[in-house]
Structure 1
Amino acid sequence: METQGKRAQRVPRAVREQQMLDAAVSVFARRGFRATSMDEIAEAAGVSKPLVYLYLKSKDELFTACVRREAKALSAAVRASVEAGAAPDRQLWSGLLGFFRYTAEHPDGWNLLYGQARSGGAPSADEVAAMRVEIVEFVTALIGTAAREAPCVPVLADREVRALALALVGAAESLAGSSANGRETAATLMNFAWAGLGNLLAGRPWSP
């Protein structure tokens, strides 16, 4: 009976692995890749260090798994927040809102992606770059659609549209975590990027 009870309490591998990743994200975000030890991660996860090595063979592999999971979750959150079929400005607004809300709710994950994974000495820069390319392409498509639909706007070259998308994504990355109010931050960025600085200064702000 005792053996059966222990088996019933055994944590499934998938659940245990997610618990380890949760702990690792928190420790990596706080300490950085180089300063973090597998002992710290094991302690934070409430497991033995050999068990961590059994699931994830090395610190590099563990860090890569964390970055991959957080990048996938952020991209999914942004896409899920977009109002499908809405006008381009509404899609961009809802996407920005989803981005700022997610990064505010997951500060460790965002710090891992934006701070630790892009710093020197950390693996998985390619994972973050791939996530960024995906988001830039999404924003590029929205800006391109808006430019084509505007009757009084000259056709923008592809390089101009992409440059605007890169600028917008870069601004969003810089602003993430700067305010607890994601809606206010998203509106600020929309005023600057979509309404244009000229309209904003003239008192004609964009509003949702």
Structure 2
Amino acid sequence: MPREVRERQMLDAAVAAFARHGYQAASMDDIAEAAGVSKPLVYLYLKSKEDLFMACVRREVGALVAAVREGTRARGLTADQQLWRGLTAFFAHTAARPDGVAVLYRARTQGEPFAREVAAMRVEVVAIVTALLGQAAKDAGCPSELAEREVSGLAHALVGAAESLAEWANSRTAEHFFADEAAGSTTAPSAKETAATLMNFCWAGLENLMKGARWTPAPGPARGPAPAPAPARGRPGG
């Protein structure tokens, strides 16, 4: 069997094990057995458990970024349509590879160098979203100083919301299946439905912001310490 095929089998088995048990508890014996190879062969290919986990993280990082880039690649579309396509691609990928997503979540808590790989992935995805929001702001005639101040923060917020929503959507396919069945719904939200949820949440506000209509808190009365209660009044000596 070609090395690349055998290595892919090992990585598939390792991703499933790390997603289910975590880095510390995952067993190299179980990974080798699931891959249909001997444990010495796993060490021959991947050197160590740390190297195996890193290979899993890098594979899943590359696959996720590639999915988002492919989703936003279409030209001739408005920025919101490109963002919609990118979000749909993101949620389709995370739904198709829940174990890979779980490995990336676990990598964040394992410290360096794993967390650095996930952080670099997030920077790359945020850059894609920032470019789309920046173009949308430019197309809408948003003042450049407003765009510079707001777009980067909004891109970080949107990516964070997408990550959280993907975790929620994936949880609907397993833990909540029987509860959904009792309620009359047995299907998890599709990638398009999840993307629409996030677009409905963010785009109306973004659209107003790009037109210069910013939300501000309503002015209210100045607040100070509550006054002490007045003493009870009665007749002297009573």
What is the TM-score of this pair, normalised by structure 1? 0.85
- Structure 1 residue 54 and structure 2 residue 31: aligned? no
Q: Mark the runs of 5 or more structure 2 residues left unpaired by the alignment.
A: 170-187, 209-238
Conserved in 2, the CA contact under 8 Å of 1:63 and 1:123? Answer: no
| Aligned pair partner of 2:143 in 144, 154, 161 | 154
Which residue does the alignment assign to 2:106? 116
Which residue does the alignment assign to 1:106? 97
Helix, strand or coil for the counterpart of 2:168? coil
Question: What are the within-5 Å matches in structure 2 for residues 125-204 of structure 1?
Answer: 125-151=115-141, 153-155=142-144, 156-179=146-169, 180=188, 181-196=190-205
Greater CA deviation, 93-102 or 172-181?
Answer: 172-181
| Aligned pair partner of 1:75 in 65, 69, 73 | 65
Cα RMSD (Å): 1.7
Aligned counterparts of 1:122 and 1:108: Cα–Cα separation in 2 = 21
| Aligned pair partner of 2:3 in 4, 13, 35 | 13
Which residue does the alignment assign to 1:89? 80
Aligned counterparts of 2:122 and 2:130: Cα–Cα separation in 1 = 12
Q: Mark the runs of 5 or more structure 1 residues left unpaired by the alignment.
A: 1-10, 200-208
Counterparts in 2 of 1:198 and 1:149: CA distance versus 1, 3 Å: closer
Which structure has the larger Rg over C-alpha atoms?
Answer: 2
Aligned counterparts of 1:122 and 1:31: Cα–Cα separation in 2 = 19
AA of the residue aligned to 1:47? V
Between the two proteins, what is the percent identity of the paired residues? Answer: 66
The alpha carbon displacement at 1:80 in A equals: 1.0
Which residue does the alignment assign to 1:37? 27
| Count of aligned residue pairs for this structure pair | 187
Aligned counterparts of 2:102 and 2:16: Cα–Cα separation in 1 = 9
Q: Runs of at least 4 residues of structure 1 off by over 3 A?
A: 120-123
AA of the residue aligned to 1:185? T
